[in-house]
Amino acid sequence: MLNKPFRVLSQFRESGDRQTLSDFINDPALRVAGRLDYDSEGLLLLSDDGHLVQKISNPRFKLEKTYWAQVEGEPTEDAMAQLRQGVILKDGKTRPAKSRIIDEPTGLWPRDPPIRYRAAIPASWLELTISEGRNRQVRRMTAAVGHPTLRLIRARVGDWSLGQLKPGESAVTTMV
């Protein structure tokens, strides 16, 4: 398990001046089990077991992933209901998400650089659990209901959770 920092690519091979996973973990046997975008943070699972990587990564297995999304504005119950029913995106309707408004997660680390601050537009935190992994799906879903994502953190994948890992920290865990 790795807490992938903001602005780190979910790959081991070098990519110009961008940081990659190899800046945090040095084990050539490991493969990434599901990706996180460059501008997303949080739990990333790595394994040397190809079957496990497939089970975690392949949407066919419908493994739930939970995200904390800081969004623009204050979502209405209608917006939350849309997320729970599935949102129509350019690539089709999403599966229903479990969604709820939450307080800022306890123990959250500061982001560097911080999100943009707008005095006239409040920000809210949502917890979203999805069972698919489309490209930038959570960001596209929140934008589709009128609340663009400002910060996105993956907190859980299946039974594995971020716990107390700080950005850039990793921990070995049993994966079954």
Residue 167 lies in a domain: no
Residue 175 lies in a domain: no
Residue 173 lies in a domain: no
Tell me, rounded to whole angstroms, the distance of Cα 115 from its chain centroid. Answer: 16
CB atoms within 10 A of CB 27: 11
Residue reference for tokens 């979203």: 128
Rounded Cα gap, residues 56 and 44, in angstroms: 11
Q: List the pLDDT tens digit at each of the 176 positions of the chain.
A: 999 999 999 998 888 899 999 999 988 899 999 889 999 999 999 999 988 888 888 877 889 999 999 999 999 999 999 999 999 999 999 999 999 999 999 999 998 888 877 777 899 999 999 998 888 999 999 999 999 999 999 999 999 999 999 999 999 887 65
* Contact call for residues 175 and 160 (beta carbons, < 8 A): yes
Residue 86 lies in a domain: yes
3-state helix, strand, coil in the chain (%, to 5): 20, 30, 50
**The domain that contains 151 carries what CATH number?**
3.30.70.1560
Q: Domain span at residue 22?
A: 2-161
- Angle, vertex CA 162, rays to CA 34 and CA 49, nearest 5: 40
Rounded Cα gap, residues 146 and 40, in angstroms: 20
Which residue out of 17, 23, 27, 37 is catalytically annotated?
A: 37
Rounded Cα gap, residues 50 and 42, in angstroms: 22
Residue 13 lies in a domain: yes
CB atoms within 10 A of CB 158: 17
Residue 98 lies in a domain: yes
CB atoms within 10 A of CB 136: 14
Number of domains in the chain: 1
Residue 166 lies in a domain: no
Residue 54 lies in a domain: yes
Whether 103 is catalytic? no
Rounded Cα gap, residues 104 and 124, in angstroms: 8
Structure tokens at 33: 């089990």
